[in-house]
């Protein structure tokens, strides 16, 4: 894989981490004044609009991979519900730690669905990244039960969704993938709005931030997967933890303890290890915005 697309993908993942961290901080700030249902509807609607704006067309739902997008949308929707369920039933540290085990499922699904070759350094990257996330979150895992099983299941769905983004990019634009994901998020949460109290008027101005933080972060991640292997970018999803801690240092002067600092170092080290992977295959080259096909046709013309 050429260095330039890889660097672009990594930069986009960092941008996604910043945007998602800001969105998460806003959710924590608003607390119970905004429900997960209304948050899902707003984020999903904004996602569809954002996809249309980037595509500069309205027929973004035109695709030959409809079943794939249905599966991708359902995974994202169910994961959103499971995420809210796990954070409401589990200690915050446990739920956070479990949510970052997606790097394992990303590596596994990359092998089985994308036929990527996950090298030894990338498996070490998954291991060190997970250990780093555990040191940062400091889970206790007390009273293991069915809630933990549900949380792990939901996290694996998020990993599957991540890999399916890469898969769908083979034949569809990033905007189409994003539009379908956002559409299912909206349609899955709208019926629940009738059973959820309406947000207070004082919260409405904050909705403007939700209209672009999450959707832009989602779009950055989907575009990143068009330029790099999913197994490479998996560890970079952990950067949200690092960015969140750095934000706490910069804004609130909350300096991390020794274990947290060690966790940050391991996460950064895992991102470096992920770069040492196998060379891209012909299949990978074909999804680089159709670069492989023009080259092949050009070679045939020269003959």
Question: What is the mean pLDDT, run by run of 10 residues, along the chain of 303 residues?
Answer: 81 94 82 80 92 90 93 91 83 87 94 93 95 92 84 92 93 93 93 86 82 92 94 94 88 88 96 76 43 44 44
The confidence score (pLDDT) of residue 279 equals 55
Would you state the structure tokens that stand for residue 243, as one six-digit string?
């960015």
- Grouping H, G, I as helix, E, B as strand and the rest as coil, residue 198 is coil
Cα–Cα distance for residue pair 128/274, rounded to 1 Å: 10
Is this prediction's pTM over 0.95?
Answer: no
Report pLDDT for 264.
Answer: 95
Burial of 248 (0-12, 13-18, 19+ CB in 10 A): middle
The predicted pLDDT at position 286 comes to 42
Task: Look at residue 291 in the predicted model and tell me its pLDDT.
Answer: 41
The residue among 96, 132, 97, 126 whose CA lies nearest residue 111 is: 126
How far apart are alpha carbons 123 and 112 in whole angstroms?
15
pLDDT score of 238:
94
Give the separation between CA 264 and CA 133, rounded to whole angstroms: 8
- What torsion do the CA atoms of 268, 163, 225, 138 make, to the nearest 10 degrees? -20
């Amino acid at each position: 894989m050429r260095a330039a697309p890889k660097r672009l993908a990594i930069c986009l993942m960092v941008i996604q981490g910043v945007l998602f961290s800001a969105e998460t901080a806003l959710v924590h700030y608003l607390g119970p004044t905004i429900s997960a249902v209304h948050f899902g509807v707003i984020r999903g609607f904004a996602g569809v609009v954002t996809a249309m704006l980037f595509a500069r067309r309205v027929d973004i739902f035109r695709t030959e991979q409809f079943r794939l997008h249905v599966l991708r949308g359902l995974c994202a929707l169910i994961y959103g519900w499971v995420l809210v369920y796990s954070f409401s039933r589990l200690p915050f540290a446990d739920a956070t730690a479990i949510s970052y085990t997606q790097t394992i499922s990303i590596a596994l699904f990359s092998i089985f669905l994308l036929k990527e070759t996950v090298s030894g350094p990338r498996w070490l990257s998954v291991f060190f990244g997970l250990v780093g996330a555990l040191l940062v979150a400091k889970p206790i895992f007390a009273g293991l039960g069915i809630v933990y099983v549900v949380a792990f299941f939901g996290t694996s769905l998020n990993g599957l969704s991540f890999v399916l983004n890469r898969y769908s990019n083979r034949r569809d634009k990033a905007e189409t993938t994003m539009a379908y994901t956002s559409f299912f998020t909206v349609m899955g949460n709208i019926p629940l709005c009738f059973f959820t109290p309406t947000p207070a008027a004082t919260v409405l101005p904050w909705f403007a931030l939700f209209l672009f933080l999450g959707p832009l972060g989602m779009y950055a991640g989907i575009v990143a997967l068009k330029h790099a292997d999913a197994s490479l970018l998996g560890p970079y999803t952990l950067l949200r933890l690092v960015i969140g801690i750095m934000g706490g240092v910069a804004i609130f002067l909350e300096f991390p303890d020794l274990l947290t600092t060690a966790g940050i170092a391991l996460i950064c080290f895992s991102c470096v290890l992920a770069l040492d992977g196998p060379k891209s295959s012909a299949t990978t080259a074909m999804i680089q915005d159709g670069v492989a096909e023009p080259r092949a046709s050009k070679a045939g013309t020269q003959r």
